Amino acid sequence: MAEKRILLIVGGGIAAYKSLELTRLLRKAGVAVRPILTKAGAEFVTPLSLSALAEDKVYSQLFSLTDEAEMGHIELSRSADLVVVAPATADLMAKAAQGLASDLASTTLLATDKAVLMAPAMNVRMWEHAATRRNLAILRADGVTFVGPDEGAMACGEYGPGRMAEPPAIFEAIMAMLGGTARPLAGKRALVTAGPTVEAIDPVRMLTNRSSGKQGYAIASSLAALGAEVTLVSGPTALPAPAGVKRVDVESARDMLAACEAALPADVAVCVAAVADWRPADASAGKIKKTGKAAEPIALVENPDILASLSKGARRPRLVIGFAAETNDLEAHAKAKLARKGCDWIVANDVSIAGTMGGDQNAVALVSADGIERWERMAKGEVARRLAERIAAQFA
């Protein structure tokens, strides 16, 4: 990666602070970062922070004599292997879609002959506005690649798609586009389950759980970044499908099992989904009505165990990995689960730590027949990257 260069355009949005973290990740990976900070971007992050992290000068003026003397804007637009716009505001997207050249950022986008990756960030209504939809379609047709936006609570207090993708996800998309990541899993098929399952009680009620799907989606993304052909079988989540991953949406555990079986053969299966252990024995065809008397208890039956079925099935993937959410005796429970499920590794996570469920951090231990390896607490994206690397090493 040492010789790879990114031209990073930082637009004006509250998400601009995440571009500092993105810069840090890129530098850590040995990628050179040359920043362009728009006038609006400079309202959110300072040129000094960006310059210090990028270890390069920050460019911001189109008609700056010193900038032009050092490097003309045409040369600037071609000085990198990839142009990344993060945050890509509605304004920057509109300018790029229309081919405007009214400032350094838009001029660079018009003048570049390199691939462009955009990480949009804007208010949900702006993202959903017909004008932005049009601009998105134009930019896609022009060959621009997009990462995100994510769905979630926004700084403006609204909820929905529009949040900039997290720095590790943008980093991964960049690495995939630079082709810099070795692709040790090229030609390998991976199956990942993620999210909760939903078990119907009647047409309007259900049994489910609080799984966000974040860890499973991150793993699917990391495996794809290493070149694997990934099928992500997912229960309902608020997450967009990771780039380069085939997502199959399911609701119940039985649907999830059927979708997993349909995705075989696979070289590796990673079961991250929080599958409901039970489902109502008889989902009612009609809505269950109040009767004024005590409600009938809902009889539950056990769901199929997808991890165990894959581990013990005739078409067993060479490597089967399960997750175990534990609140106590992490190691003992994980070892017992390894034996019971018949899988090769268990990634045990300590959900007693506040903020793990639904949060962005995870403290895990990798348990196999060889023993237990504790990983320090890290971002879920980082857990995913490390796990994908371990999987690749297994196939080396």
- Catalytic residue positions? 156
Residue 273 lies near ligand CTP (rule: CB under 6 A): yes
- Stretch binding ligand CTP (CB under 6 A), from 25-33, 87-95, 130-138, 266-274: 266-274
Residues 6+ apart with CB under 8 A from 362: 215, 349, 356, 377, 378, 379, 380, 383
Nearer to ligand CTP, 36 or 306 (CB): 306
Segment 176 to 215, residues that bind ligand CTP, using CB under 6 A = 193
Q: To which residue do tokens 């609701």 refer?
A: 251
One character per residue 219-258, x = contact with ligand CTP (rule: CB under 6 A)? ----------------------------------x-----
Among 116, 307, 365, 366, contact with ligand CTP (rule: CB under 6 A): 307
∠ CA 170-173-178, nearest 5°, is 125
What is the rounded CA–CA span in Å between residue 189 and residue 269? 9
Is there binding between residue 58 and ligand CTP (CB under 6 A)?
Answer: no
CB of 172 to ligand CTP, least distance (A): 23
Closest approach of ligand CTP to the CB of residue 343, in Å: 8
For residue 84, what are the CA distances in angstroms to 12, 118, 219, 296?
Answer: 14, 6, 23, 58
Interface residue with ligand CTP among 305, 344, 350, 382 (CB under 6 A) is: 305
**Which of residues 8, 9, 271, 330 is near ligand CTP by CB under 6 A?**
271
Buried b (16+ CB within 10 A) or exposed e, 350-362: bbeeeebbeebeb
Task: State how far the Cα of 315 lies from the Cα of 244, in Å rounded to an integer.
Answer: 25
Q: Are strands 361-362 and 300-302 parallel, antiparallel or unpaired?
A: unpaired
Applying CB under 6 A, which of residues 123, 234, 303, 349 lies at the interface with ligand CTP? 303
> What whole-number distance in Å separates Cα of residue 77 and Cα of residue 95?
16
Query: Tokens 């079986």 correspond to what residue?
Result: 261
Which one among 147, 225, 268, 306 touches ligand CTP, defined by CB under 6 A? 306
The upper half-sphere exposure of residue 328, i.e. CA atoms within 13 Å in the direction of its Cβ, equals 0
- Altogether, the residues listed in the chain come to a count of 396
Q: Which stretch binds ligand CTP (CB under 6 A): 87-95, 143-151, 223-231, 265-273?
A: 265-273
Question: Which string of x and - marks every residue 317-346 that binds ligand CTP (by CB under 6 A)?
Answer: -----xxxx-----------x---------
Residues engaged in binding ligand CTP (CB under 6 A) = 193, 253, 271-273, 275, 277, 303, 305-307, 322-325, 337
